[in-house]
């Protein structure tokens, strides 16, 4: 202990600095995960008991995944962020393609609701590869942006870095038929580049082009429907159900309408924890993508606002870490993590409230899903590790 004290005292005399650790971020994440436990059990108990004969089936899986996630997070906190910089960029991109390619291997992939999202390797728990791909994409573009920041003032400099992610998104859709995950994987680097690029006019034009493209796609679906032509399969049907939910109340928009009923019936302070009605058969897999509607029904608008406020604190703490680190690569990693979490929170709530067409997006730290919560906790571990590189003046 004396040797450790001498080293600490020498460090303080030589630098006048003290290491930083964002305890607020850690506490908020722990609270979010625990809140997820509290909501998953009442949301899933009925269905879990019917399907598996154990009302705590989904809760136990979530607790196990969260514990693994916290262990991984604790390890990653002590890995210097410069370690991720040593590995070449192409390794991260190649790993993303390889991980998604596992879904094309017969016998190990698992399909559900028209999508092939999981792999199962022997006795190991099933794993959703695209969640790992999101982290790999964040690190890949942190390196790419750091190396090519000066080139991003030109159209070529903006376009060339996006070619790999476009190819990856196409491969994600081919291998998993998971449009929502492909969209998220695309949005993350676009947001990262938008934040770091100096020519904001070009960035506004890029986003304007994407919005126009989305509007044209919606318009084509509506026009084809009116003329009696094919509307692009079930994805086109989801767009029509989003625009006219009452018209498709027995099919595509059934889940969305039930979620809206749940939100409306919850009122300001909700019916009480465990008192949700729609979770009993009306919303299938209520513990997953639609769990925000259960929060609103049981805890009311007040509970939903509190949850959103906690996500706001989490986003602010990530922003503080990114803004105070002196290394661009470290800052971009945290910005990527911030973009990932923010995008999924916004998309999930937008889908539940019918602000966007229905698509499967998990609510970070809250929705049941072992791979999701494990990888989100791993990302927080990396963000905390970046925070530890910040040195504060000792006063």
Name the phi and psi angles at 247, rounded to 5: -75, -25
User: Band of the pLDDT at 14, cuts 50, 70, 90?
Assistant: very low
What per-residue confidence (pLDDT) applies to 13? 46
The Cα-based distances of 63 to 49, 60, 370, 384, 392 in angstroms read 18, 5, 9, 22, 35
pLDDT tens digit sequence for 308-333 = 999 999 999 999 999 999 899 999 99
Which SS3 state, helix, strand or coil, does residue 359 take? coil
Averaged pLDDT of the chain:
85
What is the arithmetic mean of pLDDT over 345-354?
Answer: 92
pLDDT digits (tens, 9 = 90+) for 200-251: 888 888 889 888 888 888 777 777 766 655 565 667 777 877 887 888 777 7
Q: Is pLDDT above 90 for 136?
A: yes
Q: 54-64: per-residue pLDDT in tens?
A: 888 899 999 99
Q: Helix, strand, or coil here: 285?
A: coil
Per-residue pLDDT reduced to its tens digit, 151-206? 777 888 888 889 999 999 999 988 888 888 899 999 999 999 998 888 888 888 88
Pairing of strands 109-112, 115-119: antiparallel
Of 234 and 44, the one with more pLDDT: 44
Which residues share a beta bridge with 393? 17
Local confidence band at 47 (pLDDT 50, 70, 90 cut-offs): confident
Average pLDDT over residues 352-371: 88
Task: State the DSSP code for 125.
Answer: P
Q: Beta strands 17-19 and 391-393: pairing type?
A: antiparallel
Taking CA 38 as the corner, what is the angle to CA 37 and CA 41, rounded to the nearest 5 degrees?
Answer: 80
Q: Are 252 and 240 in contact (CB under 8 A)?
A: yes
User: What would the pLDDT profile of 115-135 be if each residue is shown by its tens digit?
Assistant: 677 787 766 678 888 999 999
Size (the chain), residues: 395
Q: Look at residue 1 in the predicted model and tell me its pLDDT.
A: 42
Q: Which residue has the tokens 């942190």?
A: 142
State which H helix or E strand residue 18 sits in.
strand 17-19
φ/ψ region of 105 (left if φ > 0, alpha if ψ in -120 to 50, else beta) reads beta
Q: Residue holding tokens 């728990």?
A: 125
Q: Which of 136, 75, 87 is nearest to 382 (CA)?
A: 75
- 79-105 confidence digits (pLDDT tens): 999 999 999 988 999 999 999 988 887
pLDDT of 18 > 70? The answer is no
Place of tokens 């190819």: 167
Q: Quick one: 199 exposed, middle or buried, by C-beta within 10 A (0-12, 13-18, 19+)?
A: middle
Collect all residues with Cβ–Cβ distance below 8 Å to 377 and sequence separation of at least 6.
Answer: 29, 33, 66, 69, 70, 72, 73
What is the pLDDT at residue 177? 82
Closest CA relative to residue 260, chosen from 231, 239, 283, 284: 283
Q: Which of 336, 385, 374 is nearest to 141 (CA)?
A: 336
- Report, in angstroms and rounded to the nearest whole number, the Rg of the chain calculated over CA atoms: 22
β-pair partners for 111:
116
- Whether the CB-CB separation of 132 and 99 falls below 8 Å is answered with yes
pTM of the model: 0.90
Helix (H, G, I), strand (E, B) or coil at 109: strand
Q: Say which residue the tokens 């969209």 belong to.
A: 183
- Rank 137-141, 214-218, 266-270 by mean pLDDT and report only the highest: 137-141
């Amino acid at each position: 202990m004396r040797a450790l004290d001498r080293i600490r005292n020498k460090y303080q005399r030589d630098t006048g600095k003290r290491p930083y650790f964002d305890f607020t971020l850690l506490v908020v994440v722990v609270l979010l995960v625990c809140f997820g436990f509290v909501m998953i059990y009442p949301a899933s108990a009925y269905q879990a008991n019917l399907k598996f004969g154990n009302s705590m089936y989904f809760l136990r899986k979530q607790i196990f995944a969260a514990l693994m996630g916290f262990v991984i997070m604790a390890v990653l906190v002590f890995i210097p962020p410069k370690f991720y910089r040593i590995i070449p960029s192409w390794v991260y991109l190649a790993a993303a393609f390889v991980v998604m390619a596992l879904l094309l291997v017969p016998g190990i992939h698992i399909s559900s609701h028209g999508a092939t999202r999981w792999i199962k390797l022997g006795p190991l728990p099933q794993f959703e590869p695209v969640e790992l791909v999101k982290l790999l994409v964040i690190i890949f573009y942190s390196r790419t942006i750091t190396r090519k920041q000066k080139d991003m003032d030109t159209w070529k400099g903006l376009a060339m870095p996006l070619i790999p992610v476009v190819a990856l998104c196409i491969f994600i859709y081919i291998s998993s038929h998971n449009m929502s995950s492909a969209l998220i994987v695309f949005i993350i680097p676009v947001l990262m580049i938008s934040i770091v690029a100096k020519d904001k006019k070009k960035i506004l034009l890029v986003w304007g082009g994407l919005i126009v493209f989305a509007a044209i796609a919606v318009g084509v679906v509506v026009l084809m429907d009116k003329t009696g032509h094919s509307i692009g399969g079930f994805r086109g049907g989801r767009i029509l159900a989003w625009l006219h939910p009452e018209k498709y109340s027995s099919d595509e928009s059934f889940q969305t309408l039930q979620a809206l009923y749940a939100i409306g019936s919850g009122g300001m302070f909700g019916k009480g924890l465990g008192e949700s009605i729609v979770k009993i058969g009306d919303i299938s897999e209520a513990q997953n993508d639609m769990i925000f509607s259960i929060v609103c029904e049981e805890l009311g608008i007040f509970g939903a606002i509190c949850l959103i406020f906690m996500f706001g604190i989490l986003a602010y703490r990530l922003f503080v870490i990114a803004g105070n680190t002196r290394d661009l690569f470290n800052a971009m990693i945290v910005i990527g993590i911030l973009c990932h979490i923010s995008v999924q929170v916004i998309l999930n709530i937008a889908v539940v409230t019918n602000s966007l067409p229905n698509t499967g997006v998990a609510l970070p730290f809250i929705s049941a899903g072992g791979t999701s919560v494990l990888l989100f906790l791993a990302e927080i571990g990396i963000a905390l590790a970046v925070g530890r590189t910040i040195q504060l003046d000792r006063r």
